[in-house]
Amino acid sequence: MPIGTRMLHVTAQEMIDFTLRDEVIRSRYLYRGESEEGMYRRVAHHIARAEDASLRWERTFYALMSSGRFMPNSPTLMNAGCNTGQLSACFVLPIGGSTDSIFSALHATARIFEGGGGVGFNFSDIPPRGPDRCSCGVVPVMTLFDTMCDMMRSKTKRSGAMMGMLDREHDGIEAFIRAKANEGALENFNISVSVDDEFMQHVEDHPLWDTICTSAWQIGEPGLFFRDAVNASNKNAPIRCTNPCGEQPLAPYGSCNLGHVNLARFVNDGAFDEEGFADTVHAAVRFLDDVVDTNCYPLQEVARTTLRHRKIGLGVMGFAEMLIRMGVAYGSKASYEVAERTASLLKRHAHHASAVLAEEKGPYPAWRGGDPFRRNERVTTVAPTGTTSLIARTSPGIEPIFSFVYRRRIRDPSHRDTTALMVEPAMEWLIDAYGLDRIAVLDHYATRGTPHHSIPEDVRALMVTAHDLHWRDHVNMQAIWQRHIDSGISKTINMPEDATVDDVKGAFAHAWASDCKGITIYRNKSREREGVARCGRGGCEAP
């Protein structure tokens, strides 16, 4: 057991009394005297200002959010209709080796953090540290940004996050890979190595391959960014980086606002409501396109780039809960078929909605003849939806259920770490749908980590968690969705504690061969302090 953790016996009553969702909404999103309903009305009113028929669309946007069918990214919920007004979550900034470039990027990042956004950097233009002191090197610059991010926590409702990326050819790549080896180092960064097809085709010839995979096995980082796959359909300057969670590859000064359709809300009596889904997707695309026009941008360069390309990121959440409601086990052949069909529907309706908007309002300014005639250069993505799915009461993104009862590390309004016992919404649905004894079922899972004996066998077969799946199942699911997604996908490839470095190598190679745009793995217990922890025999382990 990792140092500093303990096994906790908890009761179902503790779960019943805890209302983390309401506390998160109150502390992060609501303004003085505002209710959750008032938040949705504030956001809908602000975004609908971009429409001529603003009252009609204000009603539609309000209904989307208040029903839980769609939710925009956190900065939109926090800032729409308020003084700050920054509505985008995802940014990428350029950075070079000069003092002016480094501190200009530092200042710009602080402004983005104030509005609740996250930033990605490719640090490859910074020379490696040398004996002549002409360059301080990449890792010290990252440390500077990490310290600034810590400082900004007291000024923001949402903790800042960054992606640090480095090209595999950079002379400082090994120091970069080792930069997070010590617990707590650069904790505000996710890090990834940018690799090309030539590298992946001959990995056994590159000593760096072992270094990357061993580090990922040890600490869950770095991930890989497959730059040739990302740029295969890109006709502009090469994209070299993503936002902090990896789902949104962007050019320098690029930004994107995200929104997520809750798939679980479209399952009725085991069947998927395709018509209702299509209507929601069309309205959600219009919502996100209107965000581009009602946004307050932190930098003029970001405004110019965003308005020229009008990228949006419509994705999904609740996929795992959707499967359970349909009677399909995650990782089964049937689940892959559902994923293929759902991702295809998302692409078809989202692209059609953007094309309709292009006819009504004109295409994005950077559009050139021969490109798809759309309002938005990129339309779809799949984000992790951590807090957003909590608000919508569903499972995150396209991830499998992590655990049906678990402990989650959270940061309270005073920015102190604490833990909360969580019940997965899909578990609540199972209890209601099958008339189970809630106290008995939850207490049994919290203390033993297994389904209660009263749960029928066919229902138990649906209770698949991330740790029940082989890494190949995780990668296959990501690859299916990626075939239909314009941008990238944020997904964690979970591995058991006894996974090997060869397993990591296999997952990385399989993701590249399957045309994924990036990959992140996490081996259980790689870190002493983990964001979430499962319940097992003896109780719930504290993260």
DSSP 495-542: E-TT--HHHHHHHHHHHHHTT-SEEEEEETTSSSS-SEEEEETTEEEP
The DSSP bridge pattern shows strands 254-262 and 312-317 to be: parallel
Q: Give dist(CA 353, CA 346) in Å, integer.
A: 10
Instruction: Name the nearest CA neighbour of 282 among 180, 209, 357, 182.
Output: 357
Catalytic pick among 149, 241, 245, 535: 245
Q: Give dist(CA 36, CA 71) in Å, integer.
A: 13
**Whether 245 is catalytic:** yes
**Whether 136 is catalytic:** no
Q: Give dist(CA 346, CA 295) in Å, integer.
A: 25
**Whether 247 is catalytic:** yes
419: which 2 tokens?
Answer: 């833990």
Is residue 395 a contact partner of residue 321, using CB atoms and an 8 Å limit?
Answer: yes
Catalytic pick among 73, 190, 243, 376: 243
The alpha carbon of 525 is separated from its chain's Cα centroid by a whole number of angstroms, namely: 21
Instruction: Name the nearest CA neighbour of 434 among 460, 401, 408, 412.
Output: 460
Catalytic pick among 247, 321, 399, 424: 247
Q: Give dist(CA 323, CA 473) in Å, integer.
A: 15
Residue in the structure block whose two tokens are 């395709």 = 274
DSSP 290-301: HHHHH---SSHH
Determine the angle formed by the axes of helices 471-482 and 501-513, rounding to 10 degrees: 20
Instruction: Name the nearest CA neighbour of 39 among 78, 84, 6.
Output: 78
Which helix (H) or strand (E) segment holds residue 49: the answer is none
Q: Which of left, alpha, beta for 331 (phi over 0: left; psi -120 to 50: alpha)? A: left
Cβ within 8 Å of residue 380, ≥6 positions away: 313, 314, 315, 346, 347, 350, 484, 485, 486, 487
**What proportions of the chain, in percent to the nearest 5, are helix, strand and coil?**
45, 15, 35
Using the Cα atoms of residue 112, residue 306, residue 259 and residue 483 in order, give the sign of their dihedral.
negative
Q: Which of left, alpha, beta for 198 (phi over 0: left; psi -120 to 50: alpha)? A: alpha
Q: Give dist(CA 249, CA 193) in Å, integer.
A: 14
Q: Which of left, alpha, beta for 515 (phi over 0: left; psi -120 to 50: alpha)? A: left
The beta strand positions in 141-295, using DSSP E, are 162-167, 189-195, 223-226, 241-242, 249-250, 254-262, 267-268, 271-272
Which helix (H) or strand (E) segment holds residue 519: the answer is strand 518-523
Q: Give dist(CA 3, CA 312) in Å, integer.
A: 43
Residues annotated as catalytic are 243, 245, 247
